[in-house]
Amino acid sequence: MNRTVAFIGLGHMGAPMAANLVRAGHRVVGHDLVPAALESAVAAGVLPAPSAAEAVTGADLVLSMLPAGRHVLGLYDEILPAARPGTLFVDCSTIDVADARTAHGRATAAGMRSLDAPVSGGVVGAEAGTLTFMAGGGEAEFAEALPLLDAMGGKAVHCGDAGAGQAAKICNNMILGVSMIAVSEAFVLAESLGLSHQALYDVASTASGQCWALSVNCPVPGPVPASPANRDYRPGFAASLMAKDLGLAANALRAGGIHAELGLRAAELYEQYAERAGSAEDFSGIVRTIRERSTE
Ligand code: NAD
């Protein structure tokens, strides 16, 4: 069934996601604060709205893809009064679990329905329509959103109640951040022991050290030709985004009183690394800072 969808936040991720909804036959009304972002989405068939509130008027579903929790909560305060009662709000941004639960609470208090549905897969996945969605909210809301999620992604997992999608996202990315540091440290140790990158890769990629950070996004050039290390660490998944996600994980660890030394340390290391690398380098480039520090 084709739906009328309001799409707010047409940046690197939102624009290609909205374009895939248009391709699937949905009527997509979009808004972004940056005129150039809105114009590029319009070129892909999105109908422009002069404000977010005007975009949601008459929409069956409202999708948002914004930088952080404060943007989502600010947006919800702006648009909830303008939406039809019962409209389904689906926030795909990566935000704090606590902010996601606050957003759900505000939406339901205003007579709306709500899901958090952050994504994995990056800009490449958004363009190809192969994102993985992890959703939090009710069964009925997930079922209603599913045809749209399927139009933008290859897989959607219903993780539980409000905030469970964000929880899955930050737990997954904490595993990824910690494992990338572990793999990078192992390669730098191998260098000091005279062990070649290829030899370590050949052993660990089929032994108990195997993980995505090693076998897909290998942080040294050579063993995995498609990994960002082979193109001078152009992203990929930018260091700044990993720092952001680990910061969200660290907030949740502290709030929950969880004794997770590696998760907290990984957040610190990526924050320092991202100050230098920003969005220009893939997160696997952290191997270079480990190497530099080791020879200081
Ligand atoms: P982006 O900065 O490119 O896009 C965000 C857009 O939101 C911007 O165009 C901005 O102008 C717009 N915006 C902000 N507040 C607004 C408002 N009130 N009304 C309308 N528009 C508003 O960011 P992105 O890379 O598209 O990422 C979006 C979200 O997706 C983030 O939470 C990010 O962590 C997450 N994410 C990104 C990636 C990635 O690879 N880029 C991967 C997975 C998840």
CA of 292 from ligand 1 middle (Å) equals 32
* Residue range 4-161 in CATH 3.40.50.720: yes
The residues that bridge with 131 in the sheet, in sequence order, are: 153
The catalytic position among 169, 187, 235, 239 is: 169
Ligand 1 atom nearest the C-alpha of 245 is: 34
Cβ atoms 113, 138 nearer than 8 A: yes
In the chain, CATH 1.10.1040.10 covers 167-294
Spatial CB neighbours of 293, under 8 Å, sequence gap ≥ 6: none
Ligand 1 atom nearest the C-alpha of 71 is: 15
Is the CB–ligand 1 distance for residue 226 below 6 Å? no
The sign of the CA dihedral 200, 203, 209, 210 is positive
Q: Is the ipTM of this complex over 0.90?
A: yes
Residue-averaged pLDDT of the chain:
97
At 74-107, the pLDDT tens digits run 999 999 999 999 999 999 999 999 999 999 999 9
As a whole number of angstroms, the distance between CA 281 and CA 229 comes to: 10
Nearest CA to ligand 1 atom 38: 122
Spatial CB neighbours of 292, under 8 Å, sequence gap ≥ 6: none
The Cα angle at residue 8 between residues 246 and 136, in degrees rounded to 5: 50
* E strand or H helix at 95: none
Nearest CA to ligand 1 atom 30: 93
Is the CB–ligand 1 distance for residue 247 below 6 Å? no
**Segment 252-266 mean pLDDT:** 97
Is the CB–ligand 1 distance for residue 235 below 6 Å? no
Is the CB–ligand 1 distance for residue 122 below 6 Å? yes
Q: What is the pTM of this model?
A: 0.95
Cβ atoms 66, 9 nearer than 8 A: yes
Query: Residue 38 pLDDT more than 90?
Result: yes
Nearest CA to ligand 1 atom 31: 67
- Residue identified by tokens 């648009």 is 79
How far CA 33 is from CA of 22, 38, 86, 296, in Å, comes to 20, 8, 26, 45
Structure tokens that stand for 180 in this block: 């990338």
As a whole number of angstroms, the distance between CA 115 and CA 72 comes to: 13
Looking at residue 238, the DSSP 8-state letter turns out to be: B
Ligand 1 atom nearest the C-alpha of 94 is: 32
The Cα angle at residue 190 between residues 187 and 193, in degrees rounded to 5: 160
The Cα angle at residue 277 between residues 275 and 282, in degrees rounded to 5: 130
Is the CB–ligand 1 distance for residue 32 below 6 Å? yes
pLDDT band at 153 (very low <50, low <70, confident <90, very high): very high
In the chain, CATH 3.40.50.720 covers 4-161
Looking at residue 50, the DSSP 8-state letter turns out to be: S
CATH class of 167-294: mainly alpha
Query: How many other CB atoms sit within 10 Å of the CB of residue 34?
Result: 11
As a whole number of angstroms, the distance between CA 273 and CA 256 comes to: 26
| 169 catalytic residue (yes or no) | yes
Is the CB–ligand 1 distance for residue 12 below 6 Å? yes
